[in-house]
Amino acid sequence: MAGQVTVGYPFSAVVGQDRLLLALTLCAVHPGIGGVVVRGEKGTAKSTAVRALAALLPPVRDDDGERPARLVELPVGATEDRVIGSIDFERIVQDGTRAFTPGLLASADRGILYVDEVNLLHDHLVDLLLDAAAMGRVHVERDGISRSYPSRFVLVGTMNPEEGELRPQLLDRFGLAVDVAASRDVDTRMDVVRRRLDFEFDPVAFGQRYADADTAVAERIAAARARLDSVVLPDAELRRIAAVCAAFDVDGMRGDLVVARTAVAHAAWRGADEVTEDDVRVAVELALPHRRRRDPFDAPGLDDGAVDDAMDKAAESVAEHEPDPDPDPDGDGPDDGGGAPEPTDAPDAPDPPSAAPEQSDEASDRRAPSGTNPASIGASYDTRLLQIDGVGEGSPGRRSRARTTSGRVVRATDFAGGSLHLVGTLLRAAERRDPTASGRLSIAGADLRGAEREGREGNTIVFVVDASGSMAARDRLEAVTGAVVSLLRDAYQRRDRVAVVSVRGTDAEILVPPTRSVDVAVTRLRRARTGGRTPLASGFLTARELVARERVREPGRRALVVTVTDGRATGGPDPVDRARRAAAALASDSVASVVVDCETGMVRLGLARDLARALRGTHVTLPELSSASVAGVVRAAAA
């Protein structure tokens, strides 16, 4: 029986994502652009478009003949050995041959390397991918093996920002960035659903419907690649590129280079011989949005007004350096025959973000000062490192110690694949060796020892924020907001999941469920109401329930509860005692805790310090939070 043929969704059938398709196409025309990162919610055709592009790439000619370009998908949990290659230990042990097996980067040569959820990939693996994409080769120097192999590919990373952002240093390494979202146009949404249903009903017939369109795109990509080297980038357009990058305060020169390469690729895609202002405009819109975002709390993207202003200033710079034209002897002005270049088919820029909701007029519900930006407040803090004691086995990150597949080798262990502990292997073989034997040391499979490595993990950070009336004075509110924002900024950099529990009035409220999107947490913190009583007991119990749910969902990820309060529990009978009992209940679950003491004034009751004792956690004051001289280890509560 003939095997079932798998038919992919056609590239030309993707509707409503013109900017995404253009970015992918330009990277296919000029892989030197450096790939594209696609940010967007689920169900926006990110993966569909990437997989469809692979079928349109020109075939690859090897020594053995011609083959289709490959789409290689890199799993988020891949090890470094799987990515770049590793020693074939079995062959070494069996026949003494020092053999090397290349990794996924070798398979992706002259194809597409696709990383879904690239924001969840180990930072050092992202560095490896980006280095390979930039150099076109992979160099491996490890365990006495030195190898180098070609790896020229179109790098595409997709991500859902709600699951956390890439660090700015890594985001900048991607050539282009595209934000995608589901269309709000009814006709477009209907078209998306109709096409998908038609594809699922009969993939073959659906593919045939778009075969000619896909063939035309493939031929156009091949023609653009062939034309690429002959496209001219005039000095006037190069000056325009430099002026726009300078206007946007782009760090370094990578942005300028990527814009130039993208503009050349767009000109080749249009079939033109020379880059024009329109090509530069398209390149700016694709290559610069993620390079302006230096902070997790900066709004992503570029609005039309900002691009217009930068292009206008760049035009002035270009005009200043153009030679004076010859005077028109007839006084008829410039010739209209040539006309302007035809407008490109680049889509419009995304609409600017909508305004924040109006603030409540209720006297009892105060909010953060309207003129205060939490990001700027948090910038005044250089927060100390808070990390959980002990060694975990959680998700990749940059906070607490953990057993990982990367990092420094700490001991030899039973070999189960991965890195080999060479010294441990040799010692084991030596122990098993017959003392009367002579000659070379013989290594058997039972002698192999693995390398246990220690690196860093990300944690779940649960912020319990006292938003009661005693905390709502303007000076204190600004200080507390700055402290929490600084901790959130730190959580962003260390790849933690964060949650925010607000304590005020009669109960505690989960402002932000556990998420990797720290900017969402900051936005909701800005809008949080303050005032009323302080039900701290409810806050601790809510945090306890939240941590318990997260342990079921991600058993390997340890939690840290950070309570920001002055300790003045109020509301109901015996509020202070109830808060201490709730804190002790949280501590009984072996949850690491730290209490940030916000009490001020000449007379201090020390209630926050008492809560820290009940939590069996660490107590710090607001000034200590930014003090580098204070040790940053948070002791986990004893069971």
**Catalytic annotation, residues:** 254
Strand intervals (E) in 143-225: 145-150, 154-159, 176-180
Instruction: Please state, in angstroms and rounded to a whole number, the distance separating the CA atoms of residues 498 and 557.
Output: 12
Instruction: Please state, in angstroms and rounded to a whole number, the distance separating the CA atoms of residues 466 and 531.
Output: 10
Checking DSSP bridges between strand 145-150 and strand 137-142, what pairing results, if any?
antiparallel
CA distances from 307 to 21, 91, 173, 259 (A): 21, 58, 21, 14
- Please tell me whether residue 595 adopts helix, strand or coil conformation: strand
- Please tell me whether residue 509 adopts helix, strand or coil conformation: strand
Sign of CA dihedral 590, 451, 104, 152: positive
Instruction: Please state, in angstroms and rounded to a whole number, the distance separating the CA atoms of residues 32 and 26.
Output: 10
How far does CA 311 lie from the centroid of its chain? Answer: 29
- Work out the angle between the directed axes of helices 18-29 and 211-227 (0-180°, nearest 10): 50
Provide the β-strand partners of residue 274: 232
Cβ pair 449, 424 in contact under 8 A = yes
Place of tokens 């007029």: 361
The DSSP 8-state label assigned to residue 33 in this structure reads G
Strand intervals (E) in 21-111: 36-40, 60-62, 65-67, 71-73, 85-87, 100-102
Please name the residue ranges forming H helices in 403-531: 422-432, 474-493, 518-526
Phi, psi of 424 (to 5 degrees): -60, -40
Phi, psi of 39 (to 5 degrees): -110, 130
Provide the β-strand partners of residue 561: 462, 593
Closest CA to 530 of 463, 599, 468: 468
| Secondary structure (DSSP) of 212-265 | HHHHHHHHHHHHHHHHGGG-B--HHHHHHHHHHHHHTT--TTHHHHHHHHHHHH
Instruction: Please state, in angstroms and rounded to a whole number, the distance separating the CA atoms of residues 364 and 472.
Output: 11
Closest CA to 538 of 572, 497, 566, 589: 572
- Please tell me whether residue 510 adopts helix, strand or coil conformation: strand
CA distances from 607 to 54, 138, 384, 625 (A): 62, 58, 23, 18
